[in-house]
Amino acid sequence: MSQIVDLDFQISEEVINVKVRHQDILRRLLLNQNISEQELENKLGISSRQLRYSIEQINEQLIDEKIPVIEKRQGNYYCSERVADFLKIQSGLNEFSLSAEDRVQVIILTILSRIEEMSLDHLTISLQVSKNTVLSDMKKCNDYLRNHQLSIKYSRKEGYYIDGDEWDKRMMLSSAINHVYRNYGEKSLSQLLSHCDEDKGSVNRTLLKIEQYLGIKYTDEDFYPLIYFISTLLVRIRQKKQIDSLEFLDVSEIVGTKEYQSLIHLSDDFVGISDQEVMYISLQLLRSSSLDRLMKEEDLPLLANSLWEFFTEFETNARLILPEKRELLRKFINHFKPAYYRIKYRLPIENALYEQITTKYSVLHSFVRQSISPLEKFFQVEISDKEVAYITMFIGGHILGENDSSIEKKVIKAVILCPNGVSVSKLMEKNLQNLFPEFLFYPPNTIREYQGFMLPHDIVFSTIPVDSDELVYVVSELFTNSEQLKLRRRVIKDVFNLDFATLQSEDIVDIVKQHAKVDNVEKLTEALDSLLIRSSGDLDERVDFTGHQGLLSLISEQEIRIIKKTPMWEKLLLQASEILIDKGKIPDTYSSLLIEAYKDMPDYIVLNQEIALPHLDPEMVDQKLGVSMLVLKEGLMYQGKLVHIVMLMTIPDKESHIGVLFEINRLARNEEFVQQVKLANTPEQIMQLIGQFVS
């Protein structure tokens, strides 16, 4: 029997995939308007032929809209700033082709917000795909829902519905709304939830009143999804789809909040609904991020103590002193009010930058994760890694926010627009300040705030396309070295009419490949991008939490000593210092200061009871980043522990050593490495071991 192939299904899937690819290319070009053909192919996982076909199709659409086409020059693709206008034209869901992941979220949103029987035809219209594609997506959706104790079922009376606990359904509804808003914007949500328009207008007015009453301002990423979520909740409540009051662990805790009182007194939307539903909606307000929110005074002492213990743990693990800790404490208390309710009541957390944070700031994230136990003790639950990523943003933003440079002679004024809240905007602000030291930056604004922005400015850096009479550059919140380099070149060319695009990392790599073997093209390109950023802008060294400047770049055989007979502790500190004094890393006065600081042999400098790591605060003495290593054959009895490795780390500031420290921590936790170092007889053997265990 011949196999029957559903041609309609295959064709529709192929068309969808091509359209999704077109949109991905447009978004990447908008973020990086000068990108190589090879880079696009690698990031999209497509062939040169597929890329050329997509560019041709996109250009046809751009011509129809009278927008300059995408051009290719010397292997790189260039696009006009007006591509942002084209994406704004396509900002509605009807103009987009959804990926399979997106369609799963739209199915959940459509079913859970329905006001009538939900048929296959309804879903086909919402998703704009064939029935066969919808059926395939329904299977994927069911697999996803099973992980949350839910499932899709069908009945003649209701059509398709989601079976399970109402609390879990609402978690999925909230996640779906946030997913659609984050990827396709408010216009798309409005199209999908048009039947909630009457409630939406009323809820919008209520939230504005609540902001005024509480003296806060919700971030864009919470404000808009919150309108649609509460509007949809009101629809479900009127359909008698209510939660169980047993879900609330502490009723008095919620009822006593200003958020609960504001719902009772400021709006008629919630008259006639049950107390548990008002409490549930209060939770949505409590978990949402605002730009200025303080915790209840009676809750401060325990949380403040736990945060201070966390800071101490972090400083110990990261071997740095957090500046302005009282200001940081205020920021964290501000953050943990909504986080408290998210954690306690299993409310969903949307961290769109999670992957970027755990990749770009992996070292910092690891130290935060190691130090989190005091906060887990306070909350009495394990804190999820997405919450830890938020904490990483706060720590990183605070560290990066110190030592603000002078604003004299900076005449170009720039506005930063970021809907993702204070912590993300702080990191974004510092990255842009480092990238453009010649500009004056206003404090970051939300999209809503920019609508009434009156101060003079020349440039807008925004994470999403916006309407402005000034130059607008759409940027990622956390961007790579390559993206930074290309953005700087583009902006400097536009603003000062200077073109630094004559030398590019890809050109250098091509030449190197002709004369040498390159094992990792991406790492070489990234390293060259980092070098070119510094040379093109004459910028100071910037903080790099990714650990790219690692231990191997600082230590060689000349910085390693093998000591057969162990001298006194003070003599060891002197020897470790002399190595780096000879290298010009530290002044002659460093030795005496080091011996005085560690004469009592404090136990906190010993990592995992294996490696002693003394160091001095950069404010005590000028120093360059460096490492020396003493391997003690007999060992040294240090606070009851026999230590065989002493490493002196010199640090020029409070941040640049973090990547090196991360790798030393890894070595200290590796028993095999420590044992093999003890047996090594030459500095060359030790260098080979470091290379083996660090790489």
For residues 57 and 248, the model is more confident at: 57
Residue 87 covered by a domain: no
Are residue 529 and residue 464 in the same domain, yes or no? yes
Q: Above 90 in pLDDT, residue 575? A: yes
Q: Are 458 and 445 in contact (CB under 8 A)?
A: no
Q: What is the pLDDT of residue 156?
A: 85
What whole-number distance in Å separates Cα of residue 11 and Cα of residue 501?
Answer: 42
Residue 90 covered by a domain: no
Are residue 20 and residue 69 in the same domain, yes or no? yes
Share of the chain above pLDDT 70, in %: 77
For residues 189 and 515, the model is more confident at: 189
Which CATH number goes with the domain that contains 364?
Answer: 1.10.1790
Are residue 276 and residue 129 in the same domain, yes or no? yes
Are residue 204 and residue 335 in the same domain, yes or no? no
Taking the CB of residue 226, how many other CB atoms lie within 10 A of it? 22
The last residue of a domain, from among 353, 371, 400: 400
Q: Which structural domain range is residue 357 located in? A: 297-400
Q: What is the pLDDT of residue 646?
A: 94
Query: What's the mean pLDDT in 214-237?
Result: 84
Q: What is the pLDDT of residue 508?
A: 66
Q: Above 50 in pLDDT, residue 400? A: yes
Q: Above 90 in pLDDT, residue 273? A: no
Q: Are 395 and 311 in contact (CB under 8 A)?
A: no
Q: Above 90 in pLDDT, residue 107? A: yes
Confidence of residue 629 (pLDDT cuts 50, 70, 90): very high
Are residue 195 and residue 65 in the same domain, yes or no? no
**Tokens matching residue 405:** 């440079």
Query: What's the mean pLDDT in 440-452?
Result: 79
- List pLDDT tens digits, range 14-24: 444 556 677 77
Residue 89 covered by a domain: no
Q: What is the pLDDT of residue 589?
A: 93
Q: What is the pLDDT of residue 565?
A: 92
Q: What is the pLDDT of residue 355?
A: 72
Q: Are 372 and 312 in contact (CB under 8 A)?
A: no
Residue 282 covered by a domain: yes
Q: Are 20 and 183 in contact (CB under 8 A)?
A: no
Q: For 111-148, give the DSSP string.
A: HHT-SS-B-HHHHHHHHTS-HHHHHHHHHHHHHHHHTT
Q: What is the pLDDT of residue 588?
A: 92
CA angle 80, 59, 522 (to 5 degrees): 65
Are residue 559 and residue 686 in the same domain, yes or no? yes
Residue keyed to tokens 């307000």? 285
The last residue of a domain, from among 287, 314, 335: 287
Residue 677 covered by a domain: yes
Q: Are 425 and 353 in contact (CB under 8 A)?
A: no
Query: What's the mean pLDDT in 592-606?
Result: 87
For residues 66 and 535, the model is more confident at: 66
pLDDT-wise least confident of 215-229, 330-344, 387-401, 587-601: 330-344
What whole-number distance in Å separates Cα of residue 567 and Cα of residue 396?
Answer: 40
For residues 204 and 426, the model is more confident at: 204
Q: Above 60 in pLDDT, residue 551? A: yes
Q: What is the pLDDT of residue 294?
A: 40
Q: What is the pLDDT of residue 441?
A: 83
The last residue of a domain, from among 79, 110, 141: 79
Per-residue burial over 621-643, b if 16 or more Cβ lie within 10 Å, else e, is eebebbbbbbbbeeebebeeeeb
CA angle 441, 449, 258 (to 5 degrees): 120
In this structure, what are the phi and psi dihedrals at residue 201, rounded to the nearest 5 degrees?
-60, -40
Q: Above 90 in pLDDT, residue 591? A: yes
Which CATH number goes with the domain that contains 49?
Answer: 1.10.10
Query: What's the mean pLDDT in 87-106?
Result: 65
For residues 249 and 144, the model is more confident at: 144
Which CATH number goes with the domain that contains 646?
Answer: 3.40.930.10
- Hey, which of 107-111, 116-120, 540-544 has the most confident mean pLDDT? 107-111
For residues 589 and 660, the model is more confident at: 589
Q: What is the pLDDT of residue 496?
A: 63
Confidence of residue 540 (pLDDT cuts 50, 70, 90): very low
Residue 543 covered by a domain: no
**Tokens matching residue 609:** 């009871």
Residue 451 burial (10 A CB sphere; 0-12, 13-18, 19+):
exposed
Q: Above 50 in pLDDT, residue 407? A: no
Q: Above 60 in pLDDT, residue 548? A: no
Residue 542 covered by a domain: no
Q: Are 144 and 104 in contact (CB under 8 A)?
A: yes
- List pLDDT tens digits, range 188-224: 788 888 888 888 888 888 888 888 887 777 777 778 8
Q: Above 60 in pLDDT, residue 584? A: yes
Q: Are 457 and 470 in contact (CB under 8 A)?
A: yes
Q: What is the pLDDT of residue 264?
A: 82
Confidence of residue 53 (pLDDT cuts 50, 70, 90): confident
Confidence of residue 410 (pLDDT cuts 50, 70, 90): very low
- Closest by alpha carbon to 619, among 376, 402, 451, 367? 402
Residue 91 covered by a domain: no
Q: What is the 3-state secondary structure (H, E, C) of 434-480?
A: HHCCCEEECCCECHHHHCCCCCCCCEEEECCCCCCCCEEEECCCCCC
Strands 459-462 and 471-474: parallel
Q: What is the pLDDT of residue 132?
A: 87
Are residue 392 and residue 466 in the same domain, yes or no? no
pLDDT-wise least confident of 369-373, 600-604, 627-631: 600-604
Are residue 469 and residue 569 in the same domain, yes or no? no
- List pLDDT tens digits, range 301-338: 788 888 888 988 888 887 777 878 888 887 787 677 66
Query: What's the mean pLDDT in 436-450?
Result: 79
Are residue 188 and residue 332 in the same domain, yes or no? no
Q: What is the pLDDT of residue 679?
A: 92
pLDDT-wise least confident of 34-48, 170-184, 520-534: 520-534
Share of the chain above pLDDT 90, in %: 17
Q: What is the pLDDT of residue 436?
A: 84
Taking the CB of residue 60, how many other CB atoms lie within 10 A of it? 10
Confidence of residue 682 (pLDDT cuts 50, 70, 90): very high
Are residue 478 and residue 509 in the same domain, yes or no? yes
Q: Above 80 in pLDDT, residue 83? A: no
Mean pLDDT for the chain overall: 77
Q: What is the pLDDT of residue 109?
A: 93
User: Alpha carbon of 355 to those of 324, 390, 393: distances in Å?
Assistant: 28, 12, 12
Q: Above 90 in pLDDT, residue 510? A: no
Instruction: Give the total number of structural domains in the chain.
Output: 5
Are residue 173 and residue 266 in the same domain, yes or no? yes
Are residue 44 and residue 126 in the same domain, yes or no? no
Q: What is the pLDDT of residue 349?
A: 66
User: Alpha carbon of 662 to those of 366, 367, 649: distances in Å?
Assistant: 8, 8, 12
Enter the pTM of the model.
0.47
pLDDT-wise least confident of 295-299, 380-384, 551-555, 590-594: 295-299
For residues 593 and 433, the model is more confident at: 593
Q: What is the pLDDT of residue 644?
A: 93
Per-residue burial over 79-92, b if 16 or more Cβ lie within 10 Å, else e, is bbbebbebbeebee
Q: Above 60 in pLDDT, residue 409? A: no
pLDDT-wise least confident of 176-185, 269-278, 410-419: 410-419
